[in-house]
Amino acid sequence: MEQDRAITTNAPFGGVSLRKVEREAPADGQALLSTVETGICGTDRGIVSGALGFSYNPAGRDYMVLGHECIARVASADGEGLRKGDYVVPATRSGGGCLNCLVGRPDNCSDNDRHDAGVTGKDGFMRDSFVYSTSDLVKVNDESVADVAVLTEPMKNVMKVFDSLSHITKLSVYHGKDGTLRSRRALVVGTGCEGFLFSMMASDAGYITQIVNRHDISERQKRILDTFDVDFADYSRPGALQGEGVDLLVDTSGDPAALLGMLRHVRPNGVGVCFGTNENVAPASMSGGDIINIVEKNIVVLGSVDGSKKHYMDAVRQLSAWRKCRPDAMKQMITGRFRPENTGILLARQPGEIKSVISWQ
Ligand code: NAP
Ligand code: ZN
């Protein structure tokens, strides 16, 4: 057996350490991958701090390798048209036996019989190398996107929401008189990596897009948003929100007070997407008027989690297009690169962070 350096935790109790773990040889239908970069998100930090009670180690183990955002290179593979040196992104979720899982939609798993790499009962990718099923690898055809392809995993969540929107917005006439979304408005709550990707995608789709937080953000962050024609506002300041109401609301804060408040701005036939999750936040109450608002305006409230292999592929294509036409802004999305020894990066968010990554090579 080979040995790898790996960043591990003991879920659900938390903690983080860099240790040696064994790696088995690939079996039929599996590839050996060398990890290039792994991204860090709030879920990793939640597991490390012991705040995510639903997280658990692989069966019979007292540790789990962390990390679900990854770009890797094929060291050896047979199948799925993969060659040595190809860049790939591993899809994180392994499905079980429900009908959605059986048709390649474990993101819509209906009985909770599934595992998420680095989160629930399955090792993640924060290690020098790993073995993975070739059918769960998404090839990055355009090598020039490799330096930002670690964003594929968070981006696939966004692609799933926009895929769902393409169905929901057929329920009524949703676009403007010119047949486009150019007169429609989108509001994204929260300025983390997911909020950025949602706002960039909304703007690209044609929406007049605003992203908000209840405090200011850095000049570097504002410049990236400018490049994508996304307007930032600190909504703790009176009059910061654009007044006309919005057709698409995406909440990445998970704060019920923010979500409920912003839902009141959604226009008739609009959509409010619940994406962010946060158990450690004060409750907020909903009034009868709030329900009347949703009912009378035919508002769709959509919960969305994860994405399928197709959404990973869509994400690679979208990142590749952005990497070509806005290379500087895309590179600025990676706000820090760290060595695996620097496990402290998993304890706290960095000031002005959009995406911190660990470089394994
Ligand atoms: P993140 O970096 O923690 O971003 C959350 C953002 O929300 C931060 O900018 C935070 O601001 C902001 N925020 C918190 N409360 C707010 C409020 N009341 N008003 C406005 N903004 C507020 O996390 P992320 O990686 O972007 O992910 C976003 C959320 O989606 C997280 O909750 C994450 O757990 C969840 N998530 C969901 C899925 C899914 O499939 N549904 C997948 C991945 C992640 P400050 O911290 O700067 O104050
Ligand atoms: Zn399932």
CATH of the domain at 268: 3.40.50.720
| Pocket-forming residues, ligand 1, beta carbon under 6 Å | 41-43, 157, 189-195, 213-214, 252-255, 258, 275-278, 304-306
Same domain, 138 and 32: yes
pLDDT one digit per residue (tens) for the chain, 361 residues = 789 999 999 999 999 999 999 999 999 999 999 999 999 999 999 999 998 999 999 999 999 999 999 999 999 987 778 999 999 999 999 999 999 999 999 999 999 999 999 999 999 999 999 999 999 999 998 999 999 999 999 999 999 999 999 999 999 999 999 999 999 999 999 999 999 999 999 999 999 999 999 999 999 999 999 999 999 999 999 888 877 899 999 999 999 999 999 999 999 999 999 999 988 899 999 999 999 999 999 999 999 999 999 999 999 999 999 999 999 999 999 999 999 999 999 999 999 999 999 999 9
Reported as type and span, the H/E element at residue 354 is none
Same domain, 135 and 9: yes
Same domain, 38 and 73: yes
The sign of the dihedral angle between the CA atoms of 96, 100, 104, 106 is negative
In testing the pocket of ligand 1, which one of 45, 52, 194, 275 has its CB within 8 Å of the most ligand atoms? 194
Residue 248: inside a domain: yes
Same domain, 125 and 200: no
Which residue segment(s) compose the domain that 284 sits in?
A: 173-297
Residue 305: inside a domain: no
The 3-state secondary structure of 43-86, one letter per residue: HHHHHHCCCCCCCECCCCCCCEECCCEEEEEEEECCCCCCCCCC
CB 199 within 8 A of CB 188: yes
In DSSP terms, 90 is beta-bridged to 137
Q: Hey, what are 64's tokens?
A: 């789990």
Residue 234: inside a domain: yes
CB 132 within 8 A of CB 77: no
Same domain, 230 and 340: no
Domain count, the chain: 2
CB 358 within 8 A of CB 345: yes
In testing the pocket of ligand 1, which one of 160, 213, 234 has its CB within 8 Å of the most ligand atoms? 213
| Distances, alpha carbon 100 to alpha carbons 37, 103, 311, 323, in Å | 30, 5, 15, 33
CA of 94 to the centre of ligand 2 (A): 9
Residue 318: inside a domain: no
- Indicate the SS3 state at residue 41: coil
Residue 164: inside a domain: no
Same domain, 100 and 44: yes
CB 168 within 8 A of CB 300: yes
| Cα(361)–Cα(358) distance, integer angstroms | 9
Nearest to 272 by CA among 287, 281, 262: 262
Same domain, 8 and 139: yes
Same domain, 208 and 273: yes
Kindly report the protein residue whose alpha carbon is nearest to atom 11 of ligand 1: 190
Same domain, 146 and 193: no
| Cα(141)–Cα(139) distance, integer angstroms | 6
Q: Look at residue 342 in the predicted model and tell me its pLDDT.
A: 97
Same domain, 343 and 251: no
Residue 283: inside a domain: yes
Residue 327: inside a domain: no
Q: Look at residue 76 in the predicted model and tell me its pLDDT.
A: 93
Same domain, 53 and 119: yes
| Cα(270)–Cα(294) distance, integer angstroms | 9
Domain boundary pick from 297, 317, 346: 297
Same domain, 32 and 71: yes
50: CATH: 3.90.180.10
In testing the pocket of ligand 1, which one of 161, 187, 252 has its CB within 8 Å of the most ligand atoms? 252
CA of 248 to the centre of ligand 2 (A): 29
Q: Hey, what are 309's tokens?
A: 């292999």
Q: Look at residue 118 in the predicted model and tell me its pLDDT.
A: 98
Q: Look at residue 80 in the predicted model and tell me its pLDDT.
A: 73
Domain boundary pick from 297, 324, 348: 297
| Cα(286)–Cα(277) distance, integer angstroms | 18
CA of 301 to the centre of ligand 2 (A): 23
| Cα(10)–Cα(6) distance, integer angstroms | 13
Q: Which ligand is nearest to the CA of 113?
A: 2
Q: Hey, what are 49's tokens?
A: 């701090």
